[in-house]
Chain A
Amino acid sequence: GAGVSQSPSNKVTEKGKDVELRCDPISGHTALYWYRQSLGQGLEFLIYFQGNSAPDKSGLPSDRFSAERTGGSVSTLTIQRTQQEDSAVYLCASSLGPSGGGYQETQYFGPGTRLLVL
């Protein structure tokens, strides 16, 4: 079946420009996560959406970063006034939702968007 998809797959932008990254989770998954992976670094949590609850934004590195999830499905991550240090792979993942630690929490990752800020 269809997995998590992300677009664009690659994005090159100039410093100071805004970018918008899109994530289409697996149908029926109530939980959606955004992560950032810089070259040679581990995954860094950015934001977590669960159903209609207020999102956990504790991982967003600055107020230039924001995300929304419309209709409980598609999510967009927006980076305003991009900086060179924003260059990274941005990964989206979805899962069925919290369930006490069982298989429903398994996260399925998209292929990522590779962002390069010049």
Chain B
Amino acid sequence: KNQVEQSPQSLIILEGKNCTLQCNYTVSPFSNLRWYKQDTGRGPVSLTIMTFSENTKSNGRYTATLDADTKQSSLHITASQLSDSASYICVVRGNQGGKLIFGQGTELSVKP
């Protein structure tokens, strides 16, 4: 079982609508959690990074939340744009200086 599970696998929404992507993890001990956006054919780009003491972090229209007790994170996208169409990847670091554990990603498609 993957230590970082994302849902849904894929999502289609209309331009202007909001959406929320989920990430559940079992990695322990936990150091930090990041959300990346990966456009097709490009490398991932960091959106947010949160430590266990942070509950929420925003980056423009992207807002990430973290509940370290339930080991859940969400990425909320407000007023979606066509350029938001991408894969969104949740990544957890389990211990200081160690490797990152990647979720399988959620493929978001924003339609006009």
Q: Write the residues of chain A forming the contact surface with B, with a CB cutoff of 8 angstroms.
A: 4, 33, 35, 41-45, 48, 50, 56, 58-59, 91, 93, 98, 100-103, 105-112
Contacts and interface: CB of A to CB of B under 8 A. Distances in A.
A111 to B, nearest CB: 6
A105 B93 contact: yes
Of B93, B100, B103, B105, chain A has the most CB atoms within 10 Å of the CB of B100
A109 B32 CA distance: 18
B11 interface: no
B42 A111 contact: yes
B25 interface: no
Contacts of B96: 98, 100
Contacts of B60: none
Nearest to B100: A45
A43 B91 CA distance: 10
Interface string B3-20: 000000000000000000
A102 B57 CA distance: 13
A56 B32 contact: no
A102 B34 CA distance: 11
Contacts of B101: 45
A45 B99 contact: yes
B82 interface: no
B98 interface: yes
Contacts of A108: 46
B89 A42 contact: yes
A41 B49 contact: no
B104 A103 contact: no
A66 to B, nearest CB: 17
Contact of A48 (B32, B44, B99): B99
Contacts of A105: 32, 49, 93
Interface in B53-112: 89, 93, 96-105
Contacts of B44: 43, 91, 93, 107, 109
